[in-house]
Structure 1
Amino acid sequence: MTEPNSLKSVLDQLAEAEASRAEPHLSGRQRRARTVARLAAVQALYQMELAGEGVETVISEFSNHRFDGDIEGEMLAEADEDWFADLVRGVVGDQKAIDAAVTKRLASNWKLERLDATLRALLRSGAWELAHKPEAPREVVLNEYVELAKAFFDDSEAKFVNAALDGVARDVRPHR
């Protein structure tokens, strides 16, 4: 894992990548709000794993303090809070199945527990979204989580996220 980028640089990187994605049913502002929600969901899942906090506590913290607050000089007020809450609750509520779907796509000698906590959060969130949010185009979901991986890791981890989530997508969205 490389040294984490600042929140501003992560959001700038995601905004740049957003320009190449097409979700015709969403405005640019709505796409950005979803991007921020995905980033926040990864952060929340990471925080829950490390601090052992419950799902509703973390969702409430983000809703009450982070989305309308200043984090590293960046406002997260534009997050799609419903999307964020769905992601976090969904991953936690369906974690056994999500972990099985991700583990199926890891090399045979790899265990999910061996991965970095941020990488686990990225894979879990992306896998849940692919399985449970069919309105989000597969390509958009893959691109978003690969870009998030690039914000925190080197290219090799981003390629790993792409391969794992692409495999999960083929499993959970076989006819799309």
Structure 2
Amino acid sequence: MTHSDSAPKGNGKTQMKSAARLYAVQALFQMEHSDLSFDKVIAEFENHRFGAVYDDAEMAEGDTGLFRKLLKDAVNFQAAIDQMTDRALVAKWPIARIDPTLRALFRAAGAEFTQSNTPPKVVINEFVDIARAFFPEGKEPKFVNAVLDHMAREAKPEVF
């Protein structure tokens, strides 16, 4: 799973947070499809992906604090996040049957919904943009928007 389009949009700090979210989705995907430990995946991303240059395209620098927090929280709270995601999905499509990229995306977004003070609209917009990057021609971004909206309402009912 790669994404080497242009760097995330926005000012420097916003761009670094957007990159951290993208890298968190990629890292969660990689952890699910390899036997790499949490620490090894973090080291690989921080040493080889953040700011690296591939085929003359520079990967964005990421906010390492946010990247680590999203990964740690997605792993530590995975069962609760997966249950929240399942409630947002149609009953016939439990999270285990969802595309692995989307599963990683929902876990990272769920971690941010439940373990941070980031406004839900920001989380939804950021992760829908990530879905667009991975599925530019598909219906997935609309699906992601709907699922994340449901998850946000459960995680932060006081905001809605």
1:173 Cα deviation from its structure 2 partner: 0.3
Tell me if the contact between 2:4 and 2:59 (Cα under 8 Å) persists in the aligned partners: no
Aligned match of 1:86: 69
Tell me if the contact between 1:37 and 1:80 (Cα under 8 Å) persists in the aligned partners: yes
TM-score (normalizing by structure 2): 0.91
1:151 Cα deviation from its structure 2 partner: 1.0
Match of 1:46 among 18, 21, 29: 29
How many residue pairs get aligned? The number is 158
Aligned match of 1:144: 126
Aligned match of 1:7: 4
CA RMSD of aligned residues (A): 1.7
Aligned match of 1:24: none
Q: Gaps spanning 5+ residues in structure 2: where?
A: none
Q: Gaps spanning 5+ residues in structure 1: where?
A: 19-27
Match of 2:88 among 97, 105, 109: 105
Tell me if the contact between 2:2 and 2:26 (Cα under 8 Å) persists in the aligned partners: no
Seen in structure 2, the aligned counterparts of structure 1 residues 6 and 72 have a Cα distance that, compared at 3 Å, is: farther
Structure 1 moving runs of 4+ over 6 Å:
none
Aligned match of 2:97: 114
Work out which structure has the larger RCO, using CA pairs closer than 8 Å and 6 or more positions apart in sequence: 1
1:126 Cα deviation from its structure 2 partner: 0.7
Q: Which amino acid aligns with 1:66?
A: R
Distance in 2 (alpha carbons) for counterparts of 1:59 and 1:5: 16
Matched, 1:63 2:60: no
**Counterpart secondary structure, 2:30:** helix
